Structure 1
Amino acid sequence: MKSVLITGANKSIGFESARQLLQKGYYVYLGSRNLENGLEAVDILKAEGLTNVEVIQIDVTNQQSVDSARVAIGKRTDVLDVLINNAGVYGVNPQNALNATIDNFKNVYDTNVYGVVRTTQAFIDLLRHAHEPRIVNVSSSVGSLSLQSDTGWQFHDFAKFAVYASSKSALNMYTITLAYELRDTAFKVNAVDPGYTKTDFNFHQGTGTVEEAASRVVKYALIDHNGPTGKYFSEETNPETGEIPW
């Protein structure tokens, strides 16, 4: 049975991604910063008959917590097939370039960028033991420099979030570099935008469902050896091929 670790999986898109991968036969390590919230999420899934799941307490902003999560999973398995770096934060307002505080930048980057680096580096050894290891970094179309500078983009005058958007741009660069370093291996590493989804992340102002958003993430966790790597996907932005410019 293949296994997956999903960070920030106790709610919203991460939780639904866990549900969908359980339905596809994966063993899910449900990452949650708060253990109690993670246990409640696991109970919901098990009540649905999805039993191959357990909570892993992991705060991606804390190196000791990440290391402890690695030890915990390492006691259960020598192989991790998929890592979904889903945990993310928006930060606080103001998000404009002239007024956003340095502390706001630091807090958002600590989760959205450094947290991904911490987690990926901690679990890369278990991933290397997988036959077809996959890493999915949950990004956003607002992190695209090309789209942000395109006056014809539908969100050009709306998605100017200096803190959050720039953190996703940084995550995208990490994705490109990681995919390049693993180019001669069986790894597939991609950045995926789940879309403008109605969750508490955006005060339920999104237009998409968590089911649809999670399916986009799961899709790139399941790609075979012919699948892409080092790419940036937003099926909401580009329904034809899914790929969008960096």
Structure 2
Amino acid sequence: MTTILITGGNKGLGYESARRLAGNGHRVILGVRDTARGAEAAEQLGVEWTAIDVASDKSVAAAAEDVTARFGALDVLINNAGISGPITAMKNFDGPAVLTVLDTNTVGIVRTIHAFLPLLQRSPAPVVVNVSSGLGSFDVRADASRVEHGVPSLGYSASKAAVNMLTTIYAQFLPDIRINAVDPGYTATDFNGKTGTQTVTEGTDAIVAMASIDAHGPTGTFSDRHGAVRW
């Protein structure tokens, strides 16, 4: 049985990914910051859960200890937890606001990968899926025909561009782990006030696909439900 941890797993893309992957026969662990909501979501889905705040070194370390003690292994890590930060006029941004987004969305992935690396390395086919965004693609943002082009997401876009880069570097220097970035697309979730044009199931297609690859699958790639995304 493949064991999968999904950070930010109690709602939205994380919840739907957990539902689909558990339905495919995997053992799923929801990584949750709000333990009450996490326990409720896990009960609804019939899966496990662990407390984790990816912006806290102490919390991430404790989660790794918990998963190690309870399950003893981890095959797939889905780094889904994230925050949007301000989406506003440029004059309204400041350093602390952007730093908070980077700390959660980018450094949070670094914390989590390194904390769970010993467990992943026990797996015969370890996989990491980093949930990125088209808002972090230089090429996509430069395309005036794309919805991402007009979104003033300074901190969020910077954080996801950084996620894409660290994905390629991890894939290069951890060749025994399949490590890929995915763009869920503009999906209707609480994250965007349900304004997205895709269903949450469509938004998790790329996540579920990359979480389901084996040791011969791709690594160092960026894709959405339609295929490769331009960096």
Normalized against structure 1, the TM-score is what?
A: 0.90
Distance verdict in 2 for CA 1:95–1:44, change over 3 Å:
farther
* Secondary structure of the corresponding residue to residue 233 of structure 1: strand
Where does the alignment leave 5 or more consecutive residues of structure 2 unmatched? none
Q: Give the aligned residue type for 2:62.
A: S
What do you get for the CA RMSD once the two structures are aligned?
Answer: 1.4
Q: In structure 2, how many angstroms separate the alpha carbons of the residues matched to 1:92 and 1:145?
A: 20
Where does the alignment leave 5 or more consecutive residues of structure 1 unmatched? 47-52
- Is it true that 1:148 corresponds to 2:141 in the alignment? yes
Identity between Structure 1 and Structure 2 (%): 43
Residue 154 of structure 1 deviates from its aligned partner by: 2.0
Q: Give the aligned residue type for 2:78.
A: I
Q: In structure 1, how many angstroms separate the alpha carbons of the residues matched to 2:142 and 2:198?
A: 24
Match of 1:162 in 2: 154
* Secondary structure of the corresponding residue to residue 29 of structure 2: strand
Residue 82 of structure 1 deviates from its aligned partner by: 0.1
Tell me the alpha carbon deviations over residues 80-126 of structure 1, each in whole angstroms, 9 at most, x when there is no partner: 00000000110124353x54111110111111001111000000110
* Secondary structure of the corresponding residue to residue 113 of structure 1: helix
CA contact (8 A) 1:175 1:230 kept: yes
CA contact (8 A) 2:132 2:184 kept: yes
CA contact (8 A) 1:20 1:218 kept: yes
Match of 1:12 in 2: 12
Greater helix content: 2
Q: In structure 1, how many angstroms separate the alpha carbons of the residues matched to 2:100 and 2:89?
A: 13
Match of 1:119 in 2: 112
Match of 2:42 in 1: 42
Q: In structure 1, how many angstroms separate the alpha carbons of the residues matched to 2:164 and 2:174?
A: 15
Q: In structure 2, how many angstroms separate the alpha carbons of the residues matched to 1:91 and 1:218?
A: 26
Q: In structure 2, how many angstroms separate the alpha carbons of the residues matched to 1:79 and 1:156?
A: 38
* Secondary structure of the corresponding residue to residue 167 of structure 2: helix
Structure 1 stretch 153-162 or stretch 213-222: which is displaced more? 153-162
* Secondary structure of the corresponding residue to residue 191 of structure 1: strand
Match of 1:228 in 2: 218
Runs of 4+ in 1 over 3 A off after TM superposition: none
Match of 1:102 in 2: 95
- Superposition pairs for residues 202-241 of structure 1, below 5 Å? 202-235=192-225, 239=226
Q: In structure 1, how many angstroms separate the alpha carbons of the residues matched to 2:186 and 2:79?
A: 18
CA contact (8 A) 1:146 1:245 kept: yes
- Is it true that 1:198 corresponds to 2:188 in the alignment? yes
Structure 1 stretch 79-88 or stretch 160-169: which is displaced more? 160-169
- Is it true that 1:54 corresponds to 2:39 in the alignment? no
Match of 2:81 in 1: 87
Residue 149 of structure 1 deviates from its aligned partner by: 2.6
Residue 146 of structure 1 deviates from its aligned partner by: 1.9
- Is it true that 1:245 corresponds to 2:226 in the alignment? no
Structure 1 stretch 155-164 or stretch 101-110: which is displaced more? 155-164
Q: In structure 1, how many angstroms separate the alpha carbons of the residues matched to 2:142 and 2:186?
A: 19
Normalized against structure 2, the TM-score is what?
A: 0.95
- Is it true that 1:138 corresponds to 2:128 in the alignment? no
Instruction: Select the residue among 45, 61, 70 that pairs with 1:67.
Output: 61
Q: In structure 2, how many angstroms separate the alpha carbons of the residues matched to 1:115 and 1:225?
A: 25
